[in-house]
């Protein structure tokens, strides 16, 4: 890789759901491979894809800015993800020569056909059920996420690579959507009901601050209802 011309690099390597079971691979993807890329002298810019999951340990409802101090503990297995991502971010700052930037992504989705992700899997369940049916979901109505549509993410990444002035950017909608809100959308637009297996009430997540993207690039990401609403209406008409 050394001296190979790489141009503008979007560093997407990473693990999510199985990062603990594959701890060595997690370190390789989040840290070791990144070092080798950064040490190549022939890239023009690099955007390292990190995650807003780094904010999971913050107090409920806190506004999570890029400069917010993050609570991590090496003895907590869950924090292997956070610590390796943060190490990758730090390497970008130390070795990036001012040309490497970090994009902390929220829960990215594209369509019903995504291989991974809670929202695409839920929508596939809804699409496969007949109108008037009840779809059982292995989650709680109180679980909330910030869902960001892939086309918006791609626009943000290009802007960050070509015109970014800050070292870290949150790439999110800035709005958490709980499962109960999704259930109301599904019922109103697709004519199906959602029944949740769990009644657990998790701590409310932090609210991701997106003011940097807004101020620099006029960031206006699509709300989840705007994107999935037409899909749900199509399901209602097809059933």
Given a cut of 70, is residue 3 above it in pLDDT? Answer: no
pLDDT score of 61 = 84
Q: How far apart are CA 105 and CA 70, in angstroms?
A: 16
Mean pLDDT score, 80-91: 98
Residue 21's pLDDT is what?
96
Q: Give yes or no for a contact between 148 and 221, defined as CB atoms under 8 angstroms apart.
A: yes
* Domain shared by 114 and 129, yes or no: yes
Same domain, 94 and 140: no
Which among 115, 220, 119, 231 has a CA at the least distance from the CA of 172? 220
Question: What CATH number has the domain bearing residue 164?
Answer: 3.40.50.720
Residue range 43-53: mean pLDDT, rounded: 97
Domain total of the chain: 2
Same domain, 98 and 120: no
Q: What is the mean pLDDT of the chain?
A: 95
pLDDT bucket at 212, cuts 50 / 70 / 90: very high
CA distances for 213 relative to 85, 93, 169, 172, 209, angstroms: 21, 19, 7, 9, 9
Provide the whole-model pTM. 0.95
Is 215 within the bounds of a domain?
Answer: no
- Are 95 and 119 within one domain? no
**210 occurs within a structural domain:** no
Let me know whether 70 and 158 are in one domain.
Answer: yes
The string of pLDDT tens digits covering residues 163-201 is 999 999 999 999 999 999 999 999 999 999 999 999 988
Residues 211-220 have a mean pLDDT of 98
Residues 57 and 81 occupy one common structural domain: yes
Q: What domain range includes position 122?
A: 108-145+176-205+223-238
Do 141 and 229 lie in one domain? The reply is yes
19/86 same-domain check: yes
In a domain, 188, yes or no: yes
- The length of the chain, given as a count of residues: 239
| pLDDT recorded at residue 203 | 87
Same domain, 124 and 192: yes
Give the per-residue pLDDT at 4: 74
Name the residue with higher pLDDT: 193 or 42. Answer: 193
> Is the domain of 137 the same as that of 62?
no
High-pLDDT (> 70) share of the chain, %: 99
């Amino acid at each position: 890789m050394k001296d190979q011309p790489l141009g503008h690099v979007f560093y997407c390597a990473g693990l999510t759901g199985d990062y603990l079971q594959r701890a060595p691979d997690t370190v390789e993807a989040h840290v070791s491979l990144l070092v080798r890329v950064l040490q190549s002298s022939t890239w023009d810019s690099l955007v390292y894809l990190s995650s807003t999951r780094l904010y999971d340990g913050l107090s409920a409802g806190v506004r999570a800015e890029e400069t917010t101090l993050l609570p991590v503990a090496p003895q907590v297995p869950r924090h292997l993800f956070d610590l390796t991502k943060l190490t990758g971010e730090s390497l970008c700052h130390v070795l990036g020569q001012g040309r490497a930037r970090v994009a902390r992504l929220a829960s990215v989705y594209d369509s019903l056909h995504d291989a991974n992700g809670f929202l695409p899997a839920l929508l596939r369940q809804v699409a496969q059920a007949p109108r008037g049916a009840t779809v059982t979901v292995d989650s709680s109505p109180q679980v909330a996420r910030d869902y960001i549509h892939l086309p918006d993410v791609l626009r943000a990444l290009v802007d960050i690579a070509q015109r970014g002035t800050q070292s870290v950017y949150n790439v999110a909608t800035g709005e958490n959507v709980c499962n109960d809100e999704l259930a109301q959308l599904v019922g109103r637009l697709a004519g199906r009901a959602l029944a949740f297996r769990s009644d657990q009430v998790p701590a409310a997540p932090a609210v991701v601050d997106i003011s940097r993207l807004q101020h620099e690039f006029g960031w206006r990401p699509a709300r989840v209802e705007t994107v999935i609403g037409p899909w749900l209406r199509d399901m209602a008409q097809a059933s």
